[in-house]
Structure 1
Amino acid sequence: MNEDQVNDIIRRWQNSPEDELKPEDYQQFKNLGSACLSEGDGAKLLTFLQDEKNQGIVKSMGCVLMAPLVNKVVKQEKRLDQCQAAITHLTRTCSPDKLLHSLHELIEDIDPGAISETILALVPHLQTVLLQLDDRKAACMGLALAALQKQLSRLPVPYTRQQEEADEYGLCRCYKALAVFTKPFIEEVKRKNGNHNTSEDEELRTELLKFCMRSLREPLLEAELNRDRQSSLWHFATEIMVTLPAIQESLSEILFFSPLKKSSQMDSSESKESRACLAYLLFVQLITIDSFPAVFSPVFVLQCNMEYTNQLLSSKKESHLLKGLALYTKSLENVQDNGIPVSLQELKSFYCVPQNLRQVLTDCPMQHLRESGLKVLQLFIDKLEVEAKYKFFRCMLKTSHHAGVESYIIKNIRNQVESSMEPGNANKWFLGEELLSLLGLVLCFPQGPETDLLNSMDRIMESLNLLRYLLIRDTILRSSTVWEELCRIKDDYLKLLRVCISISRGYYASELKALREDQKMKAKEARDAARSSRLVKSITVKHEKMSDMSPEVQHQVLQSALVTFDLMESLIVRIEEITEEKLKIQN
């Protein structure tokens, strides 16, 4: 199309009312503007847009140029100042409704390889357009923020300090820009301060609340936040925590009392994840804790936070687990020892959290999380009152199905028995008949004689140590009604344990003998092959059970098993010696 033809089209547009313009006119206008940009004539386009006699055209159709202009800025080519000036002129001239439609389309169609660059380019202009609206400002702002956050959710959240400082994908810069973007809307809510609020004002508060709750869930729940290293995402978290009270949203209401009906666009798990992150920022990172009401008791705070701890510990993500363990720890630390009443164990969260913690201890591949989990488990036990400890131990022995966890619980049972024997601490749970019920769960073999002693070693050794301790402290127990029944449980347990040891020792000894014979056979085959100069391509292994291990490791495992059985037998012998010594003294 030559210049004369273009001028004719422009004159027709200048003389045409807006309602006579057709869709093909809008497309043609966009094509001409895009051609100017692609040919490097940004100055020519800016001059056209700013020309007084073209303002009718610009007002009617200028919004279609937002996408090509923003894309030009994103590409960071020359003459960016001309493109920025053109965008600024359009935001002041075009209909805000049309501009919002164009900007929303631009957000929806962002190039996946330029998400952060596009958002950083358009957010300031989007703010300008929204601030021009009188009606529907809140709804339009909410739609824009939701669309922007949806696009940002496609970017990986930086986790390490180096990743966040590099900010390779621009996510940190974008959320900093969104914090600036929301400032004037937050200030508008603050100015009203609950006075004569219209439905539009309430909707603006609601949309800002939704933005904050989405931000808590992503990126803040995924990010590593550290009070000692106040990174860009840390500062964004602070902005969110300050924003909530600023828009008259009480943190205590959100965490402890409110179902967040205003965040109805999030499902219940998303809402709970957001509040879990809020609890973490408040109670662990202490952001805005100075302004949080101090009227809530530590037990009440723990009770409320258990719901969020459960949400975090049920995840498989390291960032969630770290926050869950930290929130669990901080919530427990403020409770006095023996301060958690047994009545709280009726709450679902007080059952689910320890079960999720057990999963971390037994299945999590990350050692630092397992170590932190063990510490918080002990802290939780310390905070339970005596009856609550007793019921917790029973529950864990029945449900854990893991020798390591069970051995840790049995060790704590011994500690509680020892504590109960101190002056003034006597109780029926760890000295009276209730103790027998607990010992029935400790001194048993659910699989009977077929129990794999090697896998159950930790539990069995701790059980024998508990039994030995009870026999040594017989003076106190003999004065109660539990002694005779304890002796009966002990005899039954040791009798069955001897049978298990005999079966297991026979099995592992035969395995060890077979392994040695197999190694001799392989050595002989290798010598024969060397003498005959033939290549042995495969060697048949008679025993497949530990075939993934090298023969040396197999030998070590089998030998270790036999040593373990010797240790168990030595403890049995010692327990029987103690029993005989006590009988002699008694007689």
Structure 2
Amino acid sequence: MSEDQANDIIQRWVIVTAMGYVLMEPLISEATKKKKNLDHCRAAVTHLIKTCSPNDLLHSLLEVIEDVDPGAISDTILVLIPHLQTVLLRLDERKAASVGLALSALQKQLSRLPVPYSRQQEEADEFGLCRCCTALAAFTKPFIEEVKRKDGKCVATAEDEELKTEILKFYMKSLREPLLEAELTGDRKSPLWLFAVEIMVTLPAIKEPLSGLLFFSSQRKSSLMDSSQSNESKACLAYLLFVQLVTIDSFPAVFSPVFVLQRNMEYIDHLLSSKKESHLLKGLALFTKSLESIQDNSLPVSLLEQKSFFSVLQNLRQVLTDCPMQHLRETGLHIFQLFIDKLDAEAKHKFFRCMLKTSNHAGVESYIVKNIKNQIESSMKPGNANKWFLGAELLSLLGLVLCLPQGAETDLLNSMDKIMESLNLLRYVLIRDKDLRSKFQADVWEDLCRIKDEYIKMLRVCIGISRAYYSSELKALKEDQKLKAKEARDAARSSRSVKNMTVKHEKVSNMSPEVQHQVLQSAMVTFDLMESLIVRIEEITEEKQSKVN
């Protein structure tokens, strides 16, 4: 080889070393295309990664990630990740900051990919999210191992702490996106589940205990992201820990179930305030698990005064009344009762009052009334007596139960559930009057009878008005149907179409006349049921009075 040839080779090598990084973007773009015979392209990328300046390469690779086409996100990430890892491992200075930039750029693109929900979607992995999560778990391993080694030292350097912080930041963001959206269960070992488990196992390993992240966040950890993002990340972490029991064996046993419930309420609140099914499922499951370990009749009334408890219960009520998905409503109702069971007598009393005043939903109110009846019955058993469901305190509840807020104008059909349950409660109280009288003061029983009489009187008036209205509607509907039938016959006889048809008392409704008829008949039956209960209550009252006299 001549001297000129040697110099030419050296010059080319210098140029490639100094300027080769500019070729990365077109080479990576080519490597992501689904073509055959791309070995030369991949070999060129590998060569440049080993020879060019790592700082220049990092800048170039981050630009590729930032500018990736939405349709090529997963393909680009999968091609880039091993090369990006190599570049970062070659860095000598500011490695932690560079790892943070890379993880942030990758996570940002990852969050743009749709999250598969069903098993079939995960197996198909059409958008590549599952493959990307698996690749990211492998990508972070050498940096995690580096943090573990540094944690063994007596004094960690600022660079060591920064690397740990960047890994923590990436993990917390990943818990929010994509993992909070995914269905994460131990019986479904999907790549997303394995990624979540990897995070849960790694956090304590790098000296970031889960109890500290969930219950005692420092200012440093809180500043990693805004409060809403932080709570969503922690909510996913709490779900994995307390519901799926990932790494629960290493979780400190010193925290009482009540303390865990209190701390989890903020995360439950964030999940239940969402409209997404995946969030609601996790929130309901976390609420259930947080309650199950608490002793029945033990939660004090002071908890209800905490903002997070009030907010969670209002969100739970929204699930019960407004959620279109039946399985979520059924789960919500189970938790609603579970929560009631855990409250002590005073807390139950206050909770029932709150729900009767604020729920504005007859179904919820009827459920509360049924629970009031159960608590009265329970309080009369030996050893269970309490002032909250026997005596004067009970009157404040019955005053909310035995009332028609709109008086004679109350819509009995919309309020039917509560009214029927209220009449059943009243019948039960009158049947057990002997037991109750012995526990009530004389004036308390008199007040109860007065509330009962006023309620029955107003309800009778309301039934009379409603019956008259629905009877007239039913009569008008029958007349309309007769008129339509007559006009149809006349039209057939004259072989002409009727251009202008007048229907008296026409209701603005999408229901067919047949359905309207069924609804009106159902309303009349409902009024009959209410009236029959009222008659039975009056019969019981008369029987009791005759025995007293």
TM-score range, shorter-chain basis? over 0.9
SS of structure 2 residue aligned to 1:521: helix
The structural deviation recorded for 1:78 is 2.7
Note if 1:82 corresponds to 2:64: no
Aligned to 1:95: 53
C-alpha distance in structure 2 between counterparts of 1:543 and 1:381, whole Å? 47
Segment drifting more, 529-538 vs 227-236: 529-538
Aligned to 2:414: 455
Aligned residue identity for 1:433: A
C-alpha distance in structure 1 between counterparts of 2:513 and 2:507, whole Å? 12
2:106 paired residue among 144, 148, 151: 148
The structural deviation recorded for 1:496 is 0.4
The structural deviation recorded for 1:155 is 1.2
C-alpha distance in structure 1 between counterparts of 2:446 and 2:152, whole Å? 72
C-alpha distance in structure 1 between counterparts of 2:251 and 2:502, whole Å? 71
1:501 paired residue among 449, 460, 463: 463
C-alpha distance in structure 2 between counterparts of 1:145 and 1:568, whole Å? 65
Contact 1:449 1:500 in 2 (8 A): yes
Note if 1:130 corresponds to 2:88: yes
Superposed CA deviations along residues 520-576 of structure 1, whole A, max 9, x for unmatched, are 111111111111112346745444545200111000000000110010000000000
The structural deviation recorded for 1:53 is 4.9
Note if 1:118 corresponds to 2:76: yes
C-alpha distance in structure 2 between counterparts of 1:78 and 1:68, whole Å? 17
Aligned to 2:447: 485
SS of structure 1 residue aligned to 2:28: helix
Contact 1:310 1:352 in 2 (8 A): yes
Aligned residue identity for 1:514: A
The structural deviation recorded for 1:341 is 1.6
Aligned residue identity for 1:569: E
- Count of residue correspondences: 540
Contact 1:436 1:486 in 2 (8 A): yes
Segment drifting more, 347-356 vs 274-283: 347-356
Note if 1:276 corresponds to 2:235: yes
* Cα distance, 1:360–1:545 mapped onto 2, change above 3 Å: farther
Aligned to 2:342: 383
1:232 paired residue among 191, 195, 202: 191
Segment drifting more, 127-136 vs 551-560: 127-136
The structural deviation recorded for 1:264 is 2.2
C-alpha distance in structure 2 between counterparts of 1:260 and 1:79, whole Å? 53
Aligned residue identity for 1:76: K
Equivalent runs, 1:436-585 vs 2, <5 Å: 436-479=395-438, 480-481=440-441, 482-536=444-498, 539-545=501-507, 547-585=509-547
Aligned to 1:206: 165
Percent identity among equivalent residues?
A: 77
Point out which structure has higher relative CO (alpha carbons under 8 A, 6+ apart): 2
Aligned to 2:333: 374
Contact 2:370 2:425 in 1 (8 A): yes
Equivalent runs, 1:391-470 vs 2, <5 Å: 391-470=350-429
Aligned residue identity for 2:354: C
Aligned residue identity for 1:207: E
C-alpha distance in structure 1 between counterparts of 2:505 and 2:418, whole Å? 28
* Cα distance, 1:81–1:528 mapped onto 2, change above 3 Å: same
Segment drifting more, 366-375 vs 242-251: 242-251
Note if 1:361 corresponds to 2:320: yes
Aligned residue identity for 2:40: Q
Contact 1:546 1:554 in 2 (8 A): no
* Cα distance, 1:80–1:263 mapped onto 2, change above 3 Å: farther
Contact 2:200 2:246 in 1 (8 A): yes
Note if 1:221 corresponds to 2:174: no
Aligned residue identity for 2:143: F
Superposed CA deviations along residues 67-86 of structure 1, whole A, max 9, x for unmatched, are 11111110032332222221
Structure-2-length-normalised TM-score: 0.96
For structure 1, the 5+ residue unaligned runs are 1-10, 16-50
Superposed CA deviations along residues 94-130 of structure 1, whole A, max 9, x for unmatched, are 1111101110110011011111000000011001001
C-alpha distance in structure 2 between counterparts of 1:547 and 1:184, whole Å? 67
Aligned to 1:55: 13
* Cα distance, 1:305–1:197 mapped onto 2, change above 3 Å: same
Segment drifting more, 532-541 vs 200-209: 532-541
SS of structure 2 residue aligned to 1:513: helix
Contact 2:269 2:311 in 1 (8 A): yes
Contact 2:483 2:503 in 1 (8 A): no
Aligned to 1:23: none
C-alpha distance in structure 2 between counterparts of 1:283 and 1:497, whole Å? 48
Contact 2:24 2:61 in 1 (8 A): yes
Aligned residue identity for 2:547: I
C-alpha distance in structure 1 between counterparts of 2:342 and 2:468, whole Å? 45
C-alpha distance in structure 2 between counterparts of 1:259 and 1:360, whole Å? 33
* Cα distance, 1:539–1:368 mapped onto 2, change above 3 Å: farther
The structural deviation recorded for 1:233 is 0.7
C-alpha distance in structure 1 between counterparts of 2:30 and 2:180, whole Å? 34
Equivalent runs, 1:21-60 vs 2, <5 Å: 53-60=11-18
C-alpha distance in structure 2 between counterparts of 1:233 and 1:263, whole Å? 25
C-alpha distance in structure 1 between counterparts of 2:332 and 2:318, whole Å? 10
Note if 1:313 corresponds to 2:272: yes
C-alpha distance in structure 2 between counterparts of 1:538 and 1:185, whole Å? 81
Structure-1-length-normalised TM-score: 0.90
C-alpha distance in structure 2 between counterparts of 1:508 and 1:292, whole Å? 62
C-alpha distance in structure 1 between counterparts of 2:274 and 2:503, whole Å? 42
Contact 1:210 1:263 in 2 (8 A): no
The structural deviation recorded for 1:261 is 2.9
Aligned residue identity for 2:85: Q
C-alpha distance in structure 2 between counterparts of 1:191 and 1:265, whole Å? 24
C-alpha distance in structure 2 between counterparts of 1:536 and 1:393, whole Å? 58
SS of structure 1 residue aligned to 2:411: coil
C-alpha distance in structure 2 between counterparts of 1:157 and 1:259, whole Å? 31
Q: CA RMSD in A?
A: 1.4
The structural deviation recorded for 1:144 is 1.2
